[in-house]
Structure formats: structure tokens, C-alpha cells
Amino acid sequence: MLGVGGGGGGPATPGPGVSGGGAPPAAASGLGGYHQSAGQLTVSGSGDISPVIGGPLGSSSGPPELTTTDYLTGAFLGLIAVAAVATMFMTAEYRRRLIRTTLTASPLRGRVLAAKAIVIGSVAFLAGLVAVSCAAVIDTDVADHRGDFVFPVSWTTELRVILGTAALVAAAAVLTLAVATIVRRSAPAITLVIVTVVVPYFLSVTGAVPAGVANWLLRITPAAGFALQQSTPAYYQVQAPYSPATGFYPLAPWTGFAVLCAWTVLALAAAAYLLRRRDA
């Protein structure tokens, strides 16, 4: 869609959410003009057209342009709280010397770890789902009242972002539980999770590191799971700064989540092995 001015024969300008040739609306090139005659409007021009998605790509003169992902940027703060709870789920038993009682009641140590992982993962998923759903509903309503342009996405995409963020929180909780089982101390466990999950994400989306470094961080670290939050596709025929700082991730949503799951499975396997080998 293109927006045009009030008189005939003037230059065409992109409307909200549209860019010509990959440039912001104010600097769009390749747009010719428009002509209105006999109730018909003819727009001429050349170049690729793609949505302008917030950040550096957004219009500096119009209202903000938001996506579903923008409502969930605070998820990494929630992960820190979840990590603290998941850590205590295991380390509290070591600190209070209750782990021996637990393992005496259930000698199959692998089953104990699996039960804890199921409980903390389920609780984290439900809590994340409620929080994310509320954030999406409330922020959408606020954006509507403020007159902000919200880039529309399909209901399947929005559902994937909401459920995916909840799954991300659950996987991070299980990963934290496994790390806590390995190190047996709360502070080191929380620190390790923050360094491997939260810090790479934060450095990438804030542009604190070069785009190339950010792309690698979001490929090989557990922070790759945040790719589930990408709600808009990259239009590769249009030149634009597609990077984590503008809401685009190097891996496909479920591929990034698979990287997080792989780290979680490896950590659980190591935790189960050490739980069996070490004294309580």
C-alpha cells in the first residue's frame, strides 16, 4: 500500500509501514508520481516494496511502528527471576541437607531429577504463558489508544510468538535446574545461566557488539532460543539492516529453539551423570 498527498501530480510517498527500495519513507527512492483522472488514481515508480519494521527502519516523522516482538522485550528480565526460582528448586535441598532425605525416599536419582525438571518446566511454561498473553493484550490496547501503528501478523505467527516465548522460559528453567544440579550452589548457577542466555541476547539486541558477533552469539549459545520471538520475515530483496538490533535473528524460530533445547538436554545429561556419581 502507498500513501499519497492531497493534490494531483505530486510525488508519491510511502504510507505507514511501507518503504520503497529498502530506504526509510523520508528517503525512499525510485518513486515517480501519481495522477488522478476520472476517479482513478495511477501511481508510478520503481523499486522493491517491503514493510518498514520499527528501529532504524522506521519513520522518524510518523507514529512509532511496532510488532508483536516489541511487547516481549522484557522477557529476558523474567528469565532472571525464573532462573533464581529454578536454582533454588535444587540448591535449597543441598544447603539444608535435605537432598539425602529426598534420595533415600527415591533411590533412582535420575527419576528425581526428571521429576524436578517436569515440575519446574511446567510451572515456568504456565507462568510465562500468562505473563506473555497479558503483555500482548495490554500493550496492543495501549498502542491502539496512542495511535501507534502495529504491523499486522497472522494469528498463527502471533500464537507461535506467545507460545514460543512461554516455551523459551520453560526450557531456560530446566536448563537452570540442570546447571544448579551440577554446581550445587545458587550464585554460580544463576551467574552461568545469565552469562550464557541473558547476556548474549542483551548484547545482541542493544547493538553493543557488531552485527557479525551478534549473529554468532545467537547461533551457538542458548540465547538462540529468542529467535522464537521474531514475528516478521526478512525481505532479502530489499537492502535493510536485518540484525538482532532491529528484531531479526540469524536462525529460523524453531531452529533457534532447537539450539536452546540441545544445550538443555546436554546439561540434563551431565547433571544426571554427576547426581549418580557423587555423594549427596
Average model confidence (pLDDT) for the chain?
Answer: 81
pLDDT score recorded for residue 2? 40
Residues 204-214: tens digit of each pLDDT: 999 899 989 99
pLDDT score recorded for residue 26? 40
Least confident of 57-71, 118-132, 146-160, 212-226: 57-71
Residues 191-202: tens digit of each pLDDT: 999 999 999 999
**Among the listed residues 259, 83, 256, the one whose alpha carbon sits nearest the alpha carbon of residue 173:** 83
Between 59 and 172, residue with greater pLDDT? 172
- The mean per-residue pLDDT over the stretch 213-228 comes to 95
Q: Does the pLDDT of residue 27 top 90, yes or no? A: no
pLDDT score recorded for residue 31? 54
pLDDT score recorded for residue 189? 94
pLDDT score recorded for residue 177? 96
pLDDT score recorded for residue 12? 39
Q: Does the pLDDT of residue 150 top 80, yes or no? A: no
Between 107 and 4, residue with greater pLDDT? 107
- The mean per-residue pLDDT over the stretch 65-76 comes to 78
- In three state form, how does the secondary structure of the chain look? CCECCCCCCCCCECCCCCEECCCCHHHCCCEEEEEEECCEEEEEECCCEECCCCHHHCCCCCCCEECHHHHHCCHHHHHHHHHHHHHHHHHHHHHCCCHHHHHHHCCCHHHHHHHHHHHHHHHHHHHHHHHHHHHHHHHHHHHHHHCCEECCCCHHHHHHHHHHHHHHHHHHHHHHHHHHHHHCCHHHHHHHHHHHHHHHHHHHHCCCCCHHHHHHHHHHCHHHHHHHHCCCCCCCCCCCCCCHHHCCCCCCHHHHHHHHHHHHHHHHHHHHHHHHHCCC
Note the pTM of the prediction, 2 decimals. Answer: 0.77
Least confident of 61-65, 97-101, 176-180: 61-65
- The mean per-residue pLDDT over the stretch 257-276 comes to 96
Q: Does the pLDDT of residue 24 top 50, yes or no? A: no
Residues 111-148: tens digit of each pLDDT: 999 999 999 999 999 999 999 999 888 888 887 788 77
Q: Does the pLDDT of residue 48 top 60, yes or no? A: no
pLDDT score recorded for residue 201? 94
The model's confidence at residue 15, banded by pLDDT at 50, 70 and 90, is: very low
Q: Does the pLDDT of residue 241 top 80, yes or no? A: no
Between 203 and 150, residue with greater pLDDT? 203
Q: Does the pLDDT of residue 95 top 90, yes or no? A: no
pLDDT score recorded for residue 49? 59
